[in-house]
Structure 1
Amino acid sequence: MDASTPRQLWLLALANFVIGMGAFVVVGVLSPLAQAFGVTRPEAGALMSVYAGTYAVASPLLVAATGRLDRRLLLVLGLGLFGLGALAAALAPSFGWLLAARALMALGGGLVTPVAASVGVVLAGPGRQGQALAIVFGGLTLAQVLGVPAGAWLGYAFGWASALAVVAALALLGLLAVAAALPRGIRVPVASLASLAGVLRSGRRMGAVAFTALFIGALYVCYTFLAPLLETLYGLSRDGVTGMLALFGLGAVAGNAMGGRLTDRIGPRWTLVLLCLAQAVLMPALTLPTWPLAVVGALIFVWSVFAWSFMVPQQARLAALDPVQLPVLFALNASAIYVGATLGSALGGAVLKGPGLHALGLFGAALMALAFASLAAGR
């Protein structure tokens, strides 16, 4: 790792910060959005589902189809598409327009995150891949700490469109930084549509990727509707929701660091086993009872720690599984995150219409049990 590599890794983290904030900012402004467009909160949750579904389908196809293009160019194009989609969303005159803009954002995000991960691994070199991935994906966790709570505050204070306008401005800033500071000609394993097809035919590799979808899906049963839960059960508004989302973000930072340490000490598989078991307890504990507000804050923090510890061990597990197909596996894994988000958001919306807010954690724990079973079967 030469002297410029840490700076380049933090540049990739900045790109992921922009993508993370833009992808998840609707979670914090779900209620203002629903009110502005005259839709219910479960219907507004489709903004997350559309983004996630588009990302899930498009990301591996885009990464495979552009495998021979320069990595810096791909990151610039991805951030450009993402920023254009965010600007279109901020100016949306109708809910249908907003859904289409979210799909455009997903196309850009589907290029940025997997390409940034594969570039980070190559820049770091052997023996430092875990550290590099922790930095690159640290941008996503930082988006949970700063981006999503800041977006929620802006959405409640100045209207939901202001949060997406800030995302568009940050995407432009990230694009200019990548174009100026990331070198051309970074060599990564070449992805192709043929290599994508080969991985899709591999039960072992797709089983490993499916774990991501199930784990994230379980989390999103609760996370998509965290703001409505806090508003309805605890009477929180702008500042209260923002504060709780900030606690979730702080837990994400701690979790990212903890995931790296646990992976080094006990290995990626046992780390993931521990996280599944913790989540199966924490989600019902968060939503079934009604707690004092301080206890809710503590539960949200700990829940986030054991949620965001997931990324590094899962990436390390995939990198060890097939280093040659690293770009394709990372793209499929990133897609699986959004498949899981789609699954979890849809299930959470159905629970909200049926059993209600208190049941969200139970359904999340049930889906987490499937993730654990997938991990055990993959062994």
Structure 2
Amino acid sequence: MVTTTLLVLAAQFIVYGVAGAYLQARFAAPQSVISLVLLAFGVVGIIGNAAAARIYGRLGGARTIAVPLAGLAIGFVALTAAPPSIPVAVAVFAFWAFFNGLFMAPQQARLVELLPEQRGMLLAANASALYLGMSLGSLLGSRLLPSLGAGPLPALALLPLALATAAHVASTRTPALVRN
């Protein structure tokens, strides 16, 4: 289950870890616009986080996690296909931010729900996976951006996101003691 966290964060940070350079290279965004896009990302992420409890209550843990996984995939496809327009960049980053914010709280709640007697260890492992994923994605993005350019980064982020989805699906089908 914490494998899902690691891979989701790795996928996101392939782009987000180099967001300023990405926005500048892909959308010709000046520094002032980059700051506003990142501010909007944070604000919309808070809205996604606030919506998470309602969605979790309505759909339950496993299905709630599937929603941000699908939303992130759509966001990365949109970033890959988007025309080089600043308003489009803002809109797609905002879309992405919502689903980014929607992921973590339900993921943590699901961990506690799956193994409540191990919640402390699971949440600690999840936090470690989060930071490892952020580091791994940032490393990949910073290494790939100079050699490949900004355009393919979101498409490349789809690979760890697909692996995260597979890890999530596997965690819904295996007994609690062997979940990843």
TM-score, structure 1 as length reference:
0.44
> How many percent of aligned residue pairs carry the same amino acid?
33
Q: Which amino acid aligns with 2:31?
A: R
1:246 to 39, 51, 56: 39
Aligned partner of 1:298 in structure 2 is: 91
What is the rounded CA distance, in whole Å, between the counterparts of 2:125 and 2:69 in structure 1? 21
Deviation for aligned residue 1:331: 1.0
- Mapping for residues 155-304 of structure 1, pairs under 5 Å: 208-304=1-97
Residue pair 1:352, 1:360 contacting (<8 A) in 2 also? yes
* Counterpart-to-counterpart distance in 2, 1:272 and 1:245: 24
Q: Distance in 2 between matches of 1:350 and 1:340?
A: 15
- Give secondary structure in 2 for the equivalent of 1:309: helix
The AA in structure 1 aligned to 2:71 is A
Structure 2 match to 1:173: none
Partner of 2:178: none
Q: Does 1:378 align with 2:171?
A: yes
Query: What's the CA shift string for 1:265-314, capped at 9, x where partnerless?
Result: 00111011121122112113114433321121111111000111001110
The match for 2:101 is 308
Give the aligned partner of residue 369 of structure 1. Answer: 162
| Deviation sequence 1:89-122 (CA, Å, 0-9, x none) | xxxxxxxxxxxxxxxxxxxxxxxxxxxxxxxxxx
- Determine if contact 2:29/2:86 at 8 Å carries over to the other structure: no
Q: Which residue of 1 aligns with 2:144?
A: 351
Gaps of 5+ in 2: 173-180
- How many residues were matched structurally? 172
User: Is the CA contact (8 Å cut-off) linking 1:215 and 1:340 kept in structure 2?
Assistant: yes
Alpha-carbon distance in 1 for matches of 2:29, 2:146: 21
Q: Structure 1, residues 198-230: CA drift from partner, whole Å, max 9, x if none?
A: xxxxxxxxxx11110011111111101111012
CA distance in 2, matches of 1:310, 1:246: 19
Distance 1:247 1:354 in 2: 29
2:82/2:89 contact within 8 Å kept: no
Which of the pair has the greater relative contact order for Cα pairs under 8 Å at 6+ separation?
2
* Counterpart-to-counterpart distance in 2, 1:337 and 1:357: 24
Runs of 4+ in 1 over 2 A off after TM superposition: 232-238, 287-292
Aligned to 1:328: 121
Structure 2: distance between partners of 1:378 and 1:235: 41
Contact 1:222 1:283 in 2 (8 A): no
Shift of 1:327: 1.7
The gaps in structure 1 that reach 5 residues or longer are: 1-207
Alpha carbons 2:27, 2:89 under 8 Å: kept: no
Cα 1:220/1:255, change in 2 over 3 Å: same
The secondary structure found in structure 1 opposite 2:82 is coil
Shift of residue 345, structure 1, vs aligned partner: 1.2
TM-score (norm 2): 0.89
Q: Distance in 2 between matches of 1:375 and 1:341?
A: 18
Q: Given residue 72 of structure 2, which amino acid in structure 1 is its aligned partner?
A: Q
In structure 1, what residue type is equivalent to 2:149? G
Larger radius of gyration: 1
- Matching of residue 338 in structure 1 with residue 131 in structure 2: yes
Task: Write out per-residue CA displacement over residues 32-77 of structure 1, whole angstroms, 9 at most, x where no aligned residue.
Answer: xxxxxxxxxxxxxxxxxxxxxxxxxxxxxxxxxxxxxxxxxxxxxx
Q: Is the 8 A contact 1:209 1:336 kept in 2?
A: yes
